[in-house]
Structures are given as C-alpha cells and as structure tokens.
Structure 1
C-alpha cells in the first residue's frame, strides 16, 4: 500500500524580526502603567526611569518606542565601561538594557554615567527582568540611586491581553488559525508572554515541518511536548507584545 501521508518538509529556523513600532504594542492592565510613563516623556519626574518585568513582557518594545521618540542610543548594561561613559551620555538620551544580566559590568562606570546624565539633564531608561532589590548590586551608591529612581513594573498579563498577544504572534508570522487554537493556548498557558511566543514559534516550526496547518490537536500536542505552561526561559527574546 502506498503511503499517502504528506511528505515531511525541512523547517528552517529563520529569525523573525519583531516589530517595535508604537502601533504594534498591545496595552492592557499588565503594562498600562509602564506605557503611560513612556508616553509621558519628556515630562518625567526624573532623568532616570527604571522599567522592570519578566522575560518576554515587552520591556524592549517599550524601550524601543521611547528610543525612537527621544533619539536615544540603546546599549546592553554588560557592555558599559568607564571609557564609554562620556561618549554614551553625549548623545543626549540612552537606553540601558538588562541591568540584571550585566554580570561583571563596571558598576562604578554605570553609577558615574547616571550622575553625568543627571548633570547634563540627559534622560536614561533602564530595563531589568527583576526588581532593583533582587539584582544584588554590590555598589551601595548605585543601588541607592536606582532604588530612588522612578520605576514602572510590567506584571503578568490578564486573559484578554494574553489572547490578543497570541493572535498577534500568529499574525506576525502570517499564520491563519482557528479560534479553537487560540482558546486552547490561552486556557493552558501560564500568564507569560515570553512563553506564548515560544509556543507559537514551535507550532510554526512543527506545522511547516509536517506540511500541515495548525490545528487544536497540534497545539495541544506541542504544549504537552513543551511541558505545558512552564515559564519562559531567561534567554527568551523580550518582544511578544509587539514583539
């Protein structure tokens, strides 16, 4: 008997460029406070703003929206050294990403940068996957400076925002799915946007490899294979909200 199963296709794991435009950011109760602060610029209460939230919550998207408005440079915290401070502040606005992942970053350099930015009235937006108190900064002056800075936290999304993000993730990949697929994912996923992004990416790869469309049974199978509703890993890109 001839095998009538569709031939298995090669699935190339090509990077999906996230869209970081203002119109691509989905606002809900989980992030509306952070979004409001970004939109309030330049009327910030301080030159420094700290934006916190779990991996995949949309911090990088919000930072990108602000960077576009403020014509800011974006740099990782781990890449800042003493020799870079004057050059970075000279642009007039700066985004410093992932201060909780800086590792052996020069804390003295970062503290000097924040002081110089305040002196020059240069706005700085810092992002972190953890609250400042949980980062474990060694430099007391830096820790105090960041604790005193205005901050906004992105929390776990509500059901409506999670569903909207799942729909957007499929649309960004130009995938058309039934409402049953959205329902299956929204009901079973933890309230983690990073996790939603990982599951949709796996569904895309799986469906492409099998040469089949994404169905509810496939979504359930992929969820089971990926361990149900586990949290997104710390390496998950921070982009599902518009990202």
Structure 2
C-alpha cells in the first residue's frame, strides 16, 4: 500500500471559536497614523465641545479607541442605526455616550441623531461619534446635523504605516497563541493592504487553514492563502523546504 500523501490525509475539523478582540488601553498600538486620535481620547475630559468625531477606515481602531474612552467616561455605546427619537432621553441620561458608525445609512434616523446631539449639549453629556468617512462624505441630508458634525472637533485615523502593520500582525498572531517566523510577518506586510481590518481577516484565514491541515503557519502557507485571495505574486518558496510545511 502506498503511504498517504498530504492530499489523502484527512483534514482536522476547524471549529470557528469566537476570538474576542482585546480593547484595553494597553492593547492599543500607537503610531504616527493614529497618535492624534489617541491623544484626543487621552485628553478627555478637557474636550472643547460636547460632541467629538473620530473618523477612520474600517478596522483602523476606531472601536478600540471608543472602547477605551467609554471605559474612562463610563459611557454607553450604541450604533447610530439603533437610535430612535424616543430613545434619546434614556441614552443621554447615562451622562456619556458613544455613537458608532454614523456613516452607515441603513436605519439611520437623522432627526433622532440631531435631537440627541442637541440634548447632549443642553445636558452637558459628552458624545463620541465614530465614522468610517469624513462627515462631508457620508451623505447626510439634514443640513443642521451635517453642520453640527462638521463643526465638531475630532481626529482622523490614517491607514497604518509599515511599522504599525507589522506590529499589528505580530499582536494578532500572539492573541491567537500562534508562533510564527518573522518571514511570515514580512511576507504578509509586503503584500496586503495597509489595513488593520485586512490584517485581521488574513490572520484568521491562516489560523483556520493551518488548523484544518494540521500544519504550522509558514511562508508557503501564507503565499497559498494570499494567492487564493488574489494578493500574492510568484515567488520562490524553496527557502522554507518541504520539511517546514
């Protein structure tokens, strides 16, 4: 009988166990791309206005910073799409509030949002608003709401620089208790978008593939997964050798 090949060895079942992101202050990696936003959160309660706006692309760390502030301010957190006019007094009654994803139009009640910001100012309730895009680009149709958010102080998170992306990749592997060679981090950092969201997506895919195949995460596996996602170019993989797979 021929010995089993890699293709004939049954794959392990890979169970998708939820991995809770760590949103503590000590888990936030500060770099030139996000230091202004981090400084803004750290400057509370010396904010110049009741409403503050934090912008940045998906996966850039907005929710992490909002969570850090919510912990300090004992704030409730709610999605903008969940706010109705009848809920506003209750939301403001807590004394501090995070309103996430104001840029998403699905379910967004602009009249309720404007009422919330007015009542927050009246009652001196700080509100941190997060958005994936600048206020002028999110398609608000209520002029007063658009003006209120445009004039609010805030900070933008820029796409991560290379150093931050590498640090985030290392942290994502550590969070999953995965030990990888630095060549794995290098191969990823050189090929993926400079997006923390994309980094998280690919580390999740690598973890799942490695577990299902009973393999370590090596550079050949990285290139295979990236190729499947249309992100890897041709490269000589011989340096890792068959024994490392």
What TM-score, normalized to structure 2? Answer: 0.91
Q: Which residue of 2 aligns with 1:232?
A: none
- Mapping of 1:71-86 within 5 angstroms? 71-86=74-89
Separation in 2 of the partners of 1:90 and 1:103?
25
- 1:125 corresponds, among 128, 132, 135, to 128
Runs of 4+ in 1 over 4 A off after TM superposition: none
Stretches of structure 1 that go unaligned for 5 or more consecutive residues are 230-243
Separation in 2 of the partners of 1:117 and 1:197?
35
Separation in 1 of the partners of 2:101 and 2:108?
11
CA displacement at 1:2 relative to structure 2: 2.3
- Mapping of 1:1-243 within 5 angstroms? 1-5=2-6, 6-228=9-231
Whether the 8 Å CA contact 1:77–1:102 is kept in 2: the answer is: no
Separation in 2 of the partners of 1:140 and 1:68?
32
Which secondary structure does the structure 2 equivalent of 1:51 belong to? strand
CA displacement at 1:116 relative to structure 2: 0.6
CA displacement at 1:61 relative to structure 2: 0.3
What TM-score, normalized to structure 1? Answer: 0.92
CA displacement at 1:12 relative to structure 2: 1.2
Whether the 8 Å CA contact 2:92–2:125 is kept in 1: the answer is: yes
Separation in 1 of the partners of 2:5 and 2:158?
48
CA displacement at 1:102 relative to structure 2: 3.9
Deviations 1:165-214 (A, max 9, x none): 00000000000000110010011111111111100000000000000000
Report which structure shows greater RCO (CA 8 Å, sep ≥6): 1
Separation in 2 of the partners of 1:172 and 1:227?
26
CA displacement at 1:18 relative to structure 2: 0.4
CA displacement at 1:106 relative to structure 2: 1.4
Q: Which residue of 2 aligns with 1:235?
A: none
Whether the 8 Å CA contact 2:37–2:156 is kept in 1: the answer is: yes
Q: 1:94 to 1:102 in 2, by over 3 A?
A: farther
Stretches of structure 2 that go unaligned for 5 or more consecutive residues are 233-245
Whether the 8 Å CA contact 1:137–1:143 is kept in 2: the answer is: yes
